[in-house]
Amino acid sequence: MDHSDLDSAYEIEKQVNPSPWSKDNFYSSFDVGHHSLVCRIDSKIIGFVIFSLIKQESHLLNIGVAKDWQRKGAGAMLLKSLIKQSKVLGAKKVFLEVRSKNDNAIFFYTKYNFLKDAIRANYYSGSDPDDAILMSLEI
């Protein structure tokens, strides 16, 4: 992802996330040097992933695929690319938080061998508060 992709990623985020990151969150994430990848069809961005790397741990911060492109492989490609990139950068583990009510995402991560590690009560606030399930994958 480069700076010119941020607005497109933000539009996807608003479409698919019940508690979306703000536009400022996208720009500040980019500015602090978080790693990010996009998935394109022709020149149009249809998905993105943002992650940070701290020592030997990769933290999946945000992932989104435009509604019209969900369940067509873009999310899988982004997740697999994040795992490969993290491994190349020296990570031994990938971890993430996911809404406890988001059965589709939990199933998706479980399909790629992520394990449920813990629950963070009341992690998500806003109009649809929820607990977070912490998940991880040894790579």
Domain of residue 53 covers 3-138
Amino acid at 33: G
Amino acid at 13: E
> The domain spanning residue 125 has which CATH number?
3.40.630.30
Assigned token pair, 88: 């190349």
The reported pLDDT for the residue numbered 84 is 97
The reported pLDDT for the residue numbered 18 is 81
pLDDT along the chain (139 residues), means of 10: 94 91 94 96 96 96 96 96 97 97 95 97 88 97
The reported pLDDT for the residue numbered 99 is 94
Which residues face 60 on adjacent strands? Answer: 51
Tell if the pTM clears 0.95, that is, is over it.
no
Half-sphere exposure of 86 (CA within 13 A, CB side): 28
Q: How many domains does the chain have?
A: 1
Query: DSSP assignment of 101-116, as one string?
Result: T-HHHHHHHHHTT-EE
